[in-house]
Amino acid sequence: MLSTVAILILGPLGGISAAFMNFSIGFFIGGQVLAGILGSTVTLPYGSEGKHGANYMQTMAASVAGMCAMSVLVQAMVWLGLAEPPAWQLVLYFLCIGMFGVGIGMLYTPILVDRMRLAYPSGYAVANILRALTDKNLLKRSISKLGTSMLIGYGVGLVSLTVATLSKIGVSASTVGAGMIVGARIAIPALVVALIGVWQTPHLVQLGWLGPKDHYRKIGFVISLGTILGAAILDISLILIEAGLCAAILLIATSEGGDMQQDRSTGWRLGTNRIVQFRYQVIGIAVGAVLAVVLAKLFMSAYPILKADQFAHPDLEGTQKWQSAMTFKFVGALRGITTAQPHVIKALEVGILIGLGIEIVRRLIKKIPGYKNFSSNSVTGKTTDFLLDAVLLPNPYASSFGGFVELNAVLWWTAGGIGASIFEWAQRKAASTNETSTEAGLPADMSTMSLLGGGLIAGDSLAALSLGVYGLIKVLL
């Protein structure tokens, strides 16, 4: 029953939502959140143990959604002027790479989830939603926070996707919500990079790396990609020393491998059986490979402007609603590297050196015993450590976001992170003078901010789903 509901209902709904968001704004909210909400309603009669069944369902549905989000790869083929292969060949290709991503995900789950225990905002949000909706006691304590934030997220999502003025300033409930979950230490680095990009735009124009009217992200995403690669060089090298494994992960493999970690982080928090969860994900990949090709053709048929190459027509009227930032990154990187444009290669090299250098210095500083004591035993030390992580030497994985999206989106992301951190600081200060806590009885990682942030993400996802379904119904009719 769980598989049937996930394949026939939750998966397609999450897939439409993910494809719509990737075509419109260029990034998507994983289907985990949406599927988690809907799945928990199916398993509600099972009580608190129903969270595991709901988790299996959201795992499968999220795999479908993740594959559907890769519909933009078909769009990228159109922009590049490549001959489009038959649909069955695209489905087979997506299926093979998706399965490869799942396999790779199995290898680094113990590192990213079990050992490093990365936050994974969507996984965090889903775990809280499933626990809240399947446990009566937790539901009573969290329903007002979760429900209110979901309504706000839904309303903001609908307005931001339909009102051109708000779309231009990048209003996004899910971006704010994700920032609330990760906090200021992770959110501020993106703002630092975005502001540096704005500051350096005139200089980049002088170098010929940007045109007179180009936005920083047209070359900034290449530099940011380089910083990630630079940091990854060090991380992978250290992993190889300890574990002796190696893999190349690209595009769909990256999406599905990362998607698996979101699901596994949810399962880790809930104590869900990983073997069963893996089986659900594999089935979801197979279904998603088919839907990805179908949705790509449907959306591009319904909205012909999606076929227009934004590099060839940077001022094309109507692209405000369909920024397709994911396709923008794919096509920009492929063109820059395959045509050997000197400034793109140079930008990538600069990014790699920056990322590698920052990560080496960060690790060296944090391993100094004196710094460890200083950063953990005094207010000055904690403040210094925060500034080191957020501003002076930010983690390349966190700061790279500032080069991938426009400044407005980064501002909303940072606002969520700073707001959440200030709230939690004030709450800790109040708790130190008052023995009673508003968080008493809740799981350690189920805070007010995580509930509100997860609700905003969920509401925005539901809004995207509503508009996506509405658009497809118009096409079919």
pLDDT of residue 247 exceeding 60 = no
Backbone φ/ψ region at 280: left (φ over 0), alpha (ψ -120 to 50), beta? alpha
The CA distance from 260 to 273, in Å, is: 14
Q: What percent of the chain has pLDDT over 90?
A: 4
CA–CA separation, 383 vs 389, rounded Å?
Answer: 10
Q: Compute the distance between CA of residue 41 and CA of residue 19 in angstroms, rounded to an integer.
A: 24
pLDDT value for 242: 44
* Higher per-residue confidence, 422 vs 273: 422
Please say whether the beta carbons of 83 and 223 come within 8 A.
no
| Residue 31 pLDDT greater than 60, yes or no | no
Q: Phi, psi at residue 118, to the nearest 5°? A: -65, 150
Q: How many domains does the chain have?
A: 1
Question: What pLDDT was estimated at residue 117?
Answer: 59
pTM of the full structure: 0.68
Which tokens hold the place of 326?
């994911």
Q: Are 448 and 423 in contact (CB under 8 A)?
A: yes
Cβ-based neighbours of 196, under 8 Å, separated by 6 or more: 402
Could you count the other beta carbons within 10 Å of the beta carbon of residue 41? 12
Instruction: Say if CB 260 and CB 281 are below 8 A apart.
Output: yes
322-368 per-position pLDDT tens digit = 667 677 767 776 776 666 678 878 888 888 899 899 989 998 998 88
Those residues whose C-beta lies under 8 Å from the C-beta of residue 353, and which sit 6 or more positions away, are 226, 230
Residue of higher predicted confidence among 290 and 160: 290
pLDDT score recorded for residue 113: 60
Over residues 86-145, the pLDDT tens digits come to 888 888 888 887 787 777 666 666 666 656 555 555 566 666 666 666 666 666 666 677
Has residue 310 got a pLDDT over 80? Answer: no
Confidence of residue 248 (pLDDT cuts 50, 70, 90): very low
On whether the CB atoms of residues 42 and 57 are closer than 8 A, the answer is: yes
Question: Among residues 51, 185, 140, which one has the least CA distance to residue 441?
Answer: 140
| 3-state secondary structure string across the chain | CHHHHHHHHHHHHHHHHHHHHHHHCCCCCCHHHHHHHHHHHHCHHHHHHHHHHHHHHHHHHHHHHHHHHCCHHHHHHHHHCCCCCCHHHHHHHHHHHHHHHHHHHHHHHHHHHHHCCCCCHHHHHHHHHHHHHHCHHHHHHHHHHHHHHHHHHHHHHHHHHHCHHHHHCCCCHHHHHHHHHHCHHHHHHHHHHHHHHHHHHHHHHHHCCCCCCCCCHHHHHHHHHHHHHHHHHHHHHHHHHHHCCCCCCCHHHHHHHHHHHHHHHHHHHHCCCHHHHHHHHHHHHHHHHHHHHHHHHHHHHHCHHHHCCCCCCCCCCCCCCCCCHHHHHHHHHHHHHHCCCHHHHHHHHHHHHHHHHHHHHHHHHHCCHHHHHHHHHCHHHHHHHHHHHHHHCCCHHHHCHHHHCCHHHHHHHHHHHHHHHHHHHHHHHHHHHCCCCCCCCCCCCCCHHHHHHHHHHHHHHHHHHHHHHHHHHHHHC
Higher pLDDT, 310 or 268: 310
| Residue % of the chain over a pLDDT of 70 | 64
Contacts by 155-160 with C-beta closer than 8 Å and gap 24+?
Answer: 155/459, 155/463, 156/456, 156/459, 156/460, 156/463, 157/459, 157/460, 157/461, 157/462, 157/463, 157/464, 158/463, 158/466, 158/467
pLDDT for residue 199 is more than 80:
yes
Cα 4 to Cα 111: distance, rounded to the nearest angstrom:
32
Q: Quick one: average pLDDT of 51-77? A: 76
Q: What is the mean pLDDT of the chain?
A: 74
Integer Cα distance of 312 and 316 in angstroms: 9
Which one has a higher pLDDT value, 260 or 215? 215
Domain residues for 277? 2-310+318-476
pLDDT at 246 over 50: no
Cα 328–332–337 angle (5° rounding)? 155
Residue 318 tokens read as: 């109507």
CA torsion sign for 404, 409, 413, 414 is positive
pLDDT computed for residue 238 by the predictor: 62
